[in-house]
Amino acid sequence: MQFPAAQIALLVNGKIEGDPTTAVASFGKIEEAQKGQLTFFANPKYEDFLYSTAASVIIINEGYELKQPVTATLIRVPDAYTAFATLLSKYQEIVQQQLTGIQEPSYIAKTASYGNNVFIGAFAYLGENVKLGNNTKIFPNAYIGDNVVIGDNSTIHPGVKIYHDCKVGSHVIIHAGTVIGSDGFGFAPQADGTLKKVPQIGNVVIEDNVEIGANAAIDRATMGSTLIKSGAKLDNLIQIAHNVEVGNCTVIAAQAGVSGSTKIGNSVLIGGQAGLAGHLHIADGSKINAQAGLGKSLKTPGTSVTGSPAYDYSQAIRSQATARNLPEMEKRIKELEELVKQLMAENVNK
C-alpha cells in the first residue's frame, strides 16, 4: 500500500516542498532510509543525513533552514517528531484493523461478551462476565480473569495476565508478560514470628490512553483500587504496589518501583531504577531522577530531586561540583596552613 506525500501532509497538517505525488510504502531511519520510504528529521545530530538520505519523503520542522539542496519531498510541520509519531500511530491502526475474529483453540466463557471487530488470539482465556469493547485486540496466551472489563480500541499483547475484577479503559496498550491485579504485598507479623497474609480484595483500575510496557507488575489494592490515571505511560519492568495512584500523564521509566499507598500527582517524571517508599504524596510536575531513593513526600509542585536518599536536584548539582573540586581545595588548604605556620614563626621571632 502506497501513500502520496499530499495525503500524508493532510494527516499531519503539513506543507509540501517538492513533488506532492511522491509516494511511500514504508518507514525508515534517516541514516538508513531507501527510496520509497518516509523518514523525519528533528535532531540536529543527524543533519548530515538530511542531505544524503535516499528517503523519498522527509518530515521536517517548518522553521528549519536548509543549508544545501535535498532530493526528497519535504513536509513542513511545527514539530517533526510529533508528526512522525502520529503517522506511525495511523499506520499501526491500519495494520491492526486487519486483525479480527477468534482464533482456535481459545476459551471464552459463556457469560463473556465482546463488541465489534475484536480479535481474540489462540490460547487466550476469557473468564466469566468478561466484557470487551469494540476493536479490542487480545493476543495469544493472554489471560483475562472473571469480571474484567476492557474498553474500546485497547490492545492486550501476548502473555498478559489480568486478574479478576480489574478494569481497563479505552485506547490502552499493555505489552507482553505484564501482570495486572496480582496480590498486593501485605503480611501481618504474628507473635510467634510468622507472617499472616492479609487478603487483597480490591482491584486495579486503568483509565483511558494508558500504555504499560512489558513485564511490569501492578498489584491489586488491599481494599479499593490501585489506580493508573488517564494518559500515564509506564515503561518495562516496573513494580506498582497495592493502593498506589499514578496521576494523569505521569511517566515512569524502566525498573522503577513504587511502594504501597503512595499517591503520585499529574505529569510527574520518574527516572529508571528510582524507588519510592510507601504512603508518600508526590506533587504535580515533580521530577525524580534515575536511581533516586525517595523516602519523603514532595509537597511543592515542580520539585526536582536526585540521589539516595533523594534531595533537591539543584543542591545536589552544586554538591557534586564542590566534590569535584575537593582535591584542589585540599591542596590550597595545605598551602594556607604552611603560610600560616611561617607567619606565626616570623611573629614569634619578632
283-318 pLDDT, tens digit per residue, is 999 999 999 999 999 999 999 999 988 768 788 778
Strands (E), 257-313: 257-258, 263-264, 269-270, 275-276, 281-282, 287-288, 293-294, 304-306, 311-312
Report the percentage of the chain scoring pLDDT > 90. 83
C-alpha cell at 122: 489462540
What are the backbone dihedrals phi and psi of residue 335, each rounded to the nearest 5 degrees, phi first? -65, -40
Instruction: Determine how β-strand 73-77 pairs with β-strand 15-17.
Output: antiparallel
The answer to whether 186 and 242 have CB atoms below 8 angstroms apart is yes
Q: Which three cell numbers stand for residue 195?
A: 507472617
Instruction: List all residues 6 or more positions away from 210 whose beta carbon is below 8 Å from its beta carbon.
Output: 169, 172, 173, 228, 229, 230, 231, 232, 233, 234
Report how far residue 27's alpha carbon sits from residue 21's, in angstroms, rounded to the nearest whole number.
Answer: 17
At residue 329, does pLDDT exceed 90?
no
Query: Any idea which of 87-91, 198-202, 207-211 has the lowest mean pLDDT?
Result: 87-91
What's the confidence (pLDDT) of residue 292?
96
CA 133/CA 294 separation, integer angstroms: 39
Confidence band of 175 (pLDDT split at 50, 70, 90): very high
Active site residue 157: no
Q: From 32, 31, 40, 46, select the one nearest 73 (Cα to Cα).
A: 40
Q: How far is CA 237 from CA 72, 161, 181, 292, 323, in A?
A: 40, 15, 15, 17, 33
In the prediction, which pLDDT does 313 show? 75
Q: Which three cell numbers stand for residue 12?
A: 499531519
Identify the DSSP state of 229. -
Amino acid of residue 84: F
State how far Cα 196 lies from the chain centre.
Answer: 35
Cα–Cα distance measured from residue 226 to residue 205, given in angstroms and rounded to the nearest whole number: 6
Nearest alpha carbon to residue 118 among 105, 131, 130, 136: 136
Could you tell me the pLDDT band of residue 324, with boundaries at 50, 70 and 90?
confident
Strand ranges across the sheet with 15-17: 15-17, 73-77, 57-61, 37-41, 26-27
Average pLDDT for 93-100: 76
Tell if the pTM clears 0.85, that is, is over it.
no
- Amino acid letter for position 144: I
Look at residues 130, 122, 116 and name the one whose alpha carbon lies nearest to residue 102: 122
The amino acid at residue 193 is G
Residue 226 C-alpha from the chain's centroid: 18
Q: Which of 157, 171, 175, 242 is catalytic?
A: 242
Bridge partners, residue 120, by sequence = 102, 138
Least confident of 87-101, 118-132, 172-186, 240-254: 87-101
- Taking the alpha carbons of 139, 140, 143, 147 in that order, is the dihedral positive or negative? positive
Confidence of residue 350 (pLDDT cuts 50, 70, 90): low
Which has the minimum average pLDDT: 11-20, 43-52, 333-342? Answer: 333-342
Q: What is d(CA 293, CA 275) in angstroms, rounded to the nearest whole number?
A: 5
- Distance separating alpha carbons of residues 51 and 69, to the nearest angstrom: 7
Q: List for the chain the helix, strand, coil content (%; round to 5).
A: 20, 30, 50
Q: What is the predicted pLDDT for the residue at 337?
A: 86
- Four-residue CA torsion sign, 116, 118, 123, 128: negative
